[in-house]
Amino acid sequence: MTPAIDIRRAWRIYETAAGYTPALRGVTLSVARGEFLAIMGPSGSGKSTLMNILGCLDRPTSGTYLLEGIDVTELSEDDLAHVRASRLGFVFQSFNLLPRATVLRNVMLPLVYSDTPPRDRELAAWRALRSVGLPEEHYLHRSNELSGGQMQRVAIARALVNDPAIIFADEPTGNLDTATGEMVMRTFRRMQARGKTIVLITHDPEVSAWADRTVHIRDGKLLSDEEERAYLAGLAAREAGGEKDGGIGGSSLSPAPTSPPRSKLLGVPCL
């Protein structure tokens, strides 16, 4: 079966006043349909850049990206907008709800730009809210009257209202307490049981434990669990060596990965 996501040798290079800055360095990743994948990485590791490319919000500088078998790097901006609206759902840490709009209106919002009749929009929003377990008495409340966990459920329902195949979640439990975060993760698990592919970014190992598989990103490169453990073990060994030497010659930082030659970068258009 064709993977939901198949990205190969993807680079994302930004041009700045200081020169060329690689945010992704030859990333290759395949995600099966119906899989729940967690991507972990520290701040500045490239995980948000990767999420933007996977979600068709940005394009790789070089490399290929097949989304459900379609090479999205070849699509026009209008076609990409259609893919985002019809095949993808997004959940964010900050919820991104309209505070003065009702819960139903917030969930209906993605359908306003479609050909869905108004009555069908409300029915679709109602079904999406039921699917995430939000009680009906909250549907006519304004979103700013809800708790953090309730707002995140509304955000998930909004991501589901178009019945997308793939859901991208960026630190969805970052603003929630432990118990509420667990409730949200159970919701994602239910979505997976209904056939959705889930790609989640997190820095929390307890959150990543809910996923079927975890990959790690550091300095724009993907690492497996085994490679991440080896990296951390090497880091600990270097720190221990630094303590024995009185801090001289030891470093808590890994060597910076080697960038491609400048001549090669100059041949790659920065998008």
Confidence of residue 248 (pLDDT cuts 50, 70, 90): very low
Residue 172 lies in a domain: yes
Q: Domain residues for 151?
A: 36-52+78-242
CA torsion angle for 39, 45, 51, 56 (degrees, to 10)? -150
Q: Stretch 125-143: mean pLDDT, rounded?
A: 93
Number of domain units in the chain:
1
pLDDT of res. 207: 93
| Percentage of residues in the chain having pLDDT higher than 70 | 89
pLDDT tens across 97-130, in order? Answer: 999 999 999 999 988 877 788 889 999 999 999 9
Distances (CA, A) of 99 to 94, 143, 244: 12, 5, 55
The answer to whether residue 258 scores a pLDDT higher than 60 is no
Residue by residue, DSSP assigns 202-265 as: ES-HHHHTTSSEEEEEETTEEE-HHHHHHHHHHHHHHHHHHHHTTTSS--SSPPPPPPPPHHHH
Residue 71 lies in a domain: no
Interatomic CA distance for residues 193 and 176, integer angstroms: 23
Alpha-helical regions (H) of the chain: 47-54, 77-87, 103-112, 118-131, 148-160, 178-193, 205-208, 225-244, 262-266
pTM of the model: 0.82
Residue 142 lies in a domain: yes
Two structure tokens written together for 204: 């929390």
**Angle, vertex CA 30, rays to CA 24 and CA 33, nearest 5:** 135
What are the residues facing 90 on neighbouring strands? 168
CATH assignment of the domain containing 190: 3.40.50.300
Highest average pLDDT, of 59-63, 145-149, 265-269, comes from 59-63
Q: Stretch 186-209: mean pLDDT, rounded?
A: 93
Residue 255 lies in a domain: no
Q: Are 181 and 19 in contact (CB under 8 A)?
A: no
Kindly report which listed range (86-90, 122-126, 228-232) carries the lowest average pLDDT score. Answer: 228-232
Interatomic CA distance for residues 153 and 162, integer angstroms: 15
Confidence of residue 244 (pLDDT cuts 50, 70, 90): low
Residue 92 lies in a domain: yes
pLDDT tens across 3-58, in order? Answer: 999 999 999 999 988 899 999 999 999 999 999 999 999 888 999 999 999 999 99
pLDDT of res. 40: 93
